Amino acid sequence: MDDPDVSTGHYGELPLNQSQVKILRKYSNIKDLNKMVKDTLVWVRGRLHTCRGKGKQCFILIRQQAYSIQGVLAVGEGVSKQMVKFTTGVTRESIIDVQGYVRATERKIESSTQTDVELHITDFFVVNKAEPRLPLQIDDAARPVTTVDEDKEALSIVVNQDTRLDNRVLDLRTPTNQAIFRLQAGICKLFREALDERGFVEIHTPKIISAASEGGANVFEVSYFKQKAYLAQSPQFYKQMAIAADFDKVYTIGAVFRAEDSNTHRHLTEFVGLDLEMAFKHHYHEVLDEIGALFIGIFRGLQDLYKDEIASIYCQFPAEPFEFCDPPLRLEYREAVEILRDAGEEMNDEDDLSTPQEKLLGRLIKSKYGTDFYILDKFPLAVRPFYTMPDPSNQKWSNSYDIFMRGEEIMSGAQRIHDSPMLIERARHHSVDLEKVKGYIDAFRYGCPPHAGGGIGLERVAMLFLGLDNIRKTSMFPRDPKRLTP
C-alpha cells in the first residue's frame, strides 16, 4: 500500500486558464534571485528546462527567458514520493509555477545563470504542458559554435538554419536569441530617443503606394481594387513630403519591401527600416554630421546598456568586438577607389562597388584606421536614384553617401533634389514614368527647403554590430525569396 500523500494540494496540473479567478500572488523574477534574498519563500513562473530524478530527489532547471535557476525536490516533510514522481514525468518546455525557499549553495551551479542559490521546492504546478516530442532541443540550439568546430569529443548535434526557422518559436527561446532581440529593440529605442532629443518628429508613412519608391523592377505588385499598387521599397517620398510640409526633421520606423531574388547572407525581402530626413541651412554635411553622431550614440548605448546581452551572444557566436572612432571616419568615394586600387583591384572611378570589394575595403580600412564603422561620401551620380542631388562642382559625382559596418553597407542616403524642374529632368534621364510620380514631384512645386536623409536596415545593424554571419539571425521571422512562413 502506498504511503499517504502528504503533498496533496501542493502539486499537479492546473485547469486550463480561462481567467476563472483572480489570485493575488507575487511572482519573483529568476534574475533577481541571489544570496541577498536567501531563505525567503518565493513563487516563480518559468519553463521546465530539464528534469532528472535521482532516488528520492529530483533536480530541475527552471528557465525564464535568458535566466535559469536550479530547483530541488527531496522526499521529506511536506514533499511526498508521489510529488517527486509527478515532477519527473512533466515534459520539457512546459510552463510551471513553483514555490520554494531560496537557499545558498556551497558550490557554484554551472548549469544555471543563478550560480550561488537554488530553490528548495514546496509547491509545483503545471500551468501548460508541452508535447513530449520537441522538433529541436533548446540545449542543442543554444550550443556554442566553437563546441562543434573545436571540441571533437563533444556531442556535435548541429541545429541547421532551416530547422531553426521552421520551428522559430522554439528557437527564439534560447538565451542567445533572447539577447539578440532585446539588443535589437535597444537599437530602435536608442535611435528614437536620440532623434526625439534632437527635435525630430516621428511619422508613419503608407506601405501601399501607387509607384515604386526607388524605381526599377525590385518591387512587389499587389492588386488594389481595380488598379495596381506596390509595396513600399522605402518611405523616401513621404519623408520628403513631410519636409516640404514644414516638419523640418522627421523619422520613421517600419517595414520595407524589396522584391530582390537574392538568397544571400544579408538580403531579406522584408526588413525594418529606420529612416530619417532633415532640412538643412547651407550644406548637406549638416545632416551627415547628425547621422554620424547618431550612430556613435547608438553604439555607445549598446555597449553601456546591453553588456550582458552582448556577452551572452558572444558565448554562442564568438566575434571581435565592434570598434568605431568619434568622430566617425569619413572618406570620399574616390579615396576608397584609390585604397582598393592600391590593394590590386582594377576599377574605374565611377564603377559601383561590388560586394567583394565592399568587404575588402572594410578590411583595409580596419587595418589602416582601426575602425569597423565609416562613411563614404560623394558617390558617382550614375549609380544613384533619380532624386539624388548632383555635385555642383562636377556632375560626375553626387551629394550622396553610404555608411558601412564591418565592410557592409547599412545605410544609403543623399541630399535630395528639392527643385521640381530639376527633379523632372532627372526623372526623365532615368526613364521614370512622370505620371506615376506626379504626387511626389508636385510636393516640390510650392517651395521646399534643401534637405537630406537616409534609410538604415535594422537587421543589418544588429547583425554587423554583433559580428553574426547571417541576417536571418537578427530577423525574428525572416522573409526571403524561399521563405514565407512561419
The active-site residue, picked from 120, 182, 267, 483, is: 267
Question: C-alpha dihedral over 164, 170, 175, 178, to 10 degrees?
Answer: 90
- Cis peptide leading into residue 15 (ω within 30°): no
Is 342 exposed, middle or buried, given 0-12, 13-18 or 19+ CB atoms closer than 10 A? Answer: exposed
The active-site residue, picked from 143, 266, 416, 426, is: 266
414 alpha-carbon distance from chain centroid: 25
Distances (CA, A) of 442 to 55, 166, 187, 436, 438: 80, 46, 35, 11, 6
In one-letter notation, the amino acid at residue 453 is G
Rounded CA-CA distance 311/90 in Å is 32
| Helix or strand (DSSP H, E) at 236 | helix 236-244
Rounded CA-CA distance 476/214 in Å is 26
Q: Has 460 been annotated as catalytic? A: yes
Grid coordinates belonging to 198: 534632437
Q: Has 472 been annotated as catalytic? A: no
Strands 208-209 and 227-231: antiparallel
The active-site residue, picked from 406, 426, 460, 472, is: 460
DSSP 59: E
Helix (H, G, I), strand (E, B) or coil at 138: helix
Question: Helix 307-316 and helix 458-466: axis angle, to 10°?
Answer: 70
Assign residue 338 a region (left: φ > 0; alpha: ψ between -120 and 50; beta: otherwise). alpha
Cα Dmax for the chain: 98
In one-letter notation, the amino acid at residue 267 is H
Grid coordinates belonging to 426: 532627372
Q: Has 262 been annotated as catalytic? A: no
Strand partners, 119: 71, 102
The active-site residue, picked from 409, 426, 472, 475, is: 409
| Helix or strand (DSSP H, E) at 353 | none
The active-site residue, picked from 47, 143, 258, 384, is: 258
Q: Has 335 been annotated as catalytic? A: no
Judge whether 264 and 286 are in contact, CB under 8 Å.
no
Q: Has 258 been annotated as catalytic? A: yes
Reduced 3-state DSSP string for 96-111: EEEEEEEEECCCCCCC
Long-range contacts of the stretch 115-119 (C-beta < 8 A, 24+): 116/34, 116/35, 117/33, 117/34, 117/35, 117/37, 117/38, 117/69, 118/69, 118/70, 118/71, 118/72, 119/33, 119/42, 119/44, 119/62, 119/69, 119/70, 119/71, 119/72
Instruction: Point out the residues that are catalytic.
Output: 258, 260, 266-267, 409, 412, 460
